[in-house]
A and B are shown apart, each in its own frame.
Chain A
Amino acid sequence: MTNTTYTVIFYLFAAITVFSAAFVVFSKNVIYSAFSLLFTFFGVAALYVFLSADFIAVTQIIVYVGGILVLLLFGVMFTNRIMMTDLKTDVLNIVPGFILLLAITGGLIYTFLARADWYTGTVQLQGSVVEKIGFETMSRYVLPFEMASILLLLALIGAAFLARFDKSRNMNDK
């Protein structure tokens, strides 16, 4: 692929990401916001591909689109019917929000431009990174990896415990 095509595709995905993210924030309808997140997640995944991080790109789709987005949509759809609230978002607290926005944007730009120590690789990434990721998680980063999995296991058991059908309490309710 030529360099121009490459650049055009990159900016296409960047635009998709930014515009859909803006739609998530500015849309009045929560359902539309949630569906718009789909395009944001896909755009971010595409940007990962441009960074030669294909494994992270696919993980992004599985975790965010397959997991978090579906959970979010389910949450919005079910609570809408139960709580009888209309799914609208309003603009509130404009002045404090604006100040916070300016502060965060300024802080981020300052960090990115002045403080960040960007690492630029000298050699182009070659071949598959999957083996290296597997090797590193099982050797150097095995402790954080195990800690994360135990945390997730705890969350899973807790969720199952909370959602469990409680026989004794149901009897009492009757």
Chain B
Amino acid sequence: MNASLNTWSDALSELYLFGLPIGLVIIAAVPLVFIALYALTYGVYGERKISAFMQDRLGPMEVGKWGILQTLADILKLLQKEDIVNKSADKFLFVIGPGVLFVGSFLAFAVLPFGPAFIGADLNVGLFYAIGIVALEVVGILAAGWGSNNKWALYGAIRSVAQIVSYEIPAAIAILCGAMMAGTLSMQQFNLLQQGEYGFIHFFLFQNPIAWLPFIIYFIASLAETNRAPFDIPEAESELVAGYFTEYTGMKFAVIFLAEYGSMFMVSAIISIVFLGGWNSPLPNIGPLALNDWTTGPVWGAFWIVMKGFFFIFIQMWLRWTLPRLRVDQLMHLCWKVLTPFAFVAFVLIAVWEIYVK
């Protein structure tokens, strides 16, 4: 297994056409195409359908059968929209904001392993990089909010940044618990360590009796980091119109949404890599029924990581229609007085378990 690690991406990085490193461009294009496709299908259409079913509605039904072509129609509409830049907006920051935001969201995909055979860059500090690069998104949000020169946009941006910066702390400590269990920061090593013939038994979540605590803490914190409900106070429609992207229209608006869907998948992928085995199959080998062996391989790996990511995105959507929005003070209370102390407790307990019990 080890010999075949990263074979596809290694082969691509060696690919030269006309003396140009076309392969490197393809490697970078794969996550981009993935984000676009998933945001179009599952992100927008799926979310609308799921939220409709949860509220006992039908959702989009007019365009195509079951409204399948609704997203395509929306994109066509967005492309035709006039690209409005406010007269009093800070032109430069207004234009650069969505770009920085999307780049920050997209850069994290460099270390995301799409299965055992494909990863952008197998860094030995991959996990550290993935949670650190979120900082760029923060700057993008601030640029968008300030550049709009609009009260609601600025409020939304400041709320969003305060929230992301605060929730980075419990999230990072929870991820550190996972790193302690693995003893590495490399994304592919995380996956390899959770490999085994009994499938899900080898996942870190089931390898340690306290692992559920950082798992839940990271999940809650990741909701806040991606501004999803119940932590969507930066774009609270009833108070702030639409938060930091109030003034955006057309493709800039679409880019902001693409960035949001990108980081939604990224946090879901991180939680599944750290705690739920990443691209490993959850099915165990039962005697002659070698389910695990049958569902392991480069293509299956890509299938599992994407499916695990989608599963967590589904839970994010589910929670959105279940829980009411938190108030700002409740949000900070939850972060600093609940999640952070529990994250420290989990950290100490896992350290004790790893050193003395295991």
* Residues in A lying within 8 Å of B, measured CB to CB: 1, 5, 31-32, 35, 38, 54-55, 58-59, 61-62, 65-67, 69-70, 73-74, 77, 127-130
Contacts and interface: CB of A to CB of B under 8 A. Distances in A.
Given A69-B139, A128-B124, A130-B125, A58 B165 contact: no
14 contacts: A1-B21, A31-B90, A31-B146, A35-B96, A61-B133, A66-B138, A67-B135, A69-B135, A69-B139, A70-B138, A74-B158, A77-B158, A130-B128, A130-B185
A74 B139 contact: no
B193 interface: no
Given A32-B92, A62-B135, A66-B135, A73 B124 contact: no
A65 B136 contact: yes
Nearest to B336: A160
Contacts of B132: 58-59, 61-62, 66
Interface string B178-198: 000000111000000000000
Contact of B146 (A38, A59, A77, A129): A77
Given A58-B132, A66-B132, A70-B138, A128 B186 contact: yes
B128 A58 contact: yes
A128 B189 CA distance: 12
Q: Which 8 A-B pairs have the closest CB atoms?
A: A66-B135, A128-B124, A62-B132, A65-B135, A58-B129, A58-B132, A58-B128, A61-B132
Q: How large is the interface on B (under 10, 10 to 19, 20 to 34, 35 or more residues)?
A: 20 to 34
B93 interface: yes
Contacts of B221: none
A66 B165 contact: yes
B146 A130 contact: no
Contact of A61 (B90, B100, B135, B154): B135
Nearest to B19: A2
Contact of A70 (B96, B124, B133, B142): B142
Give chain B's interface secondary structure class.
helix
A35 B146 CA distance: 11
B224 interface: no
A32 B146 CA distance: 11
A35 B139 CA distance: 8
Interface string B82-114: 000000001011001000100000000000000
B161 interface: yes
B123 interface: yes
A54 B154 CA distance: 35
B27 to A, nearest CB: 13
Contacts of A65: 135-136, 138-139
A84 to B, nearest CB: 16
B139 A55 contact: no
Given A35-B139, A70-B161, A73-B142, A58 B134 contact: no
A66 B134 contact: yes
A173 B165 CA distance: 32
B168 interface: yes
B306 interface: no
Given A69-B139, A73-B139, A54 B125 contact: yes
B124 A54 contact: yes
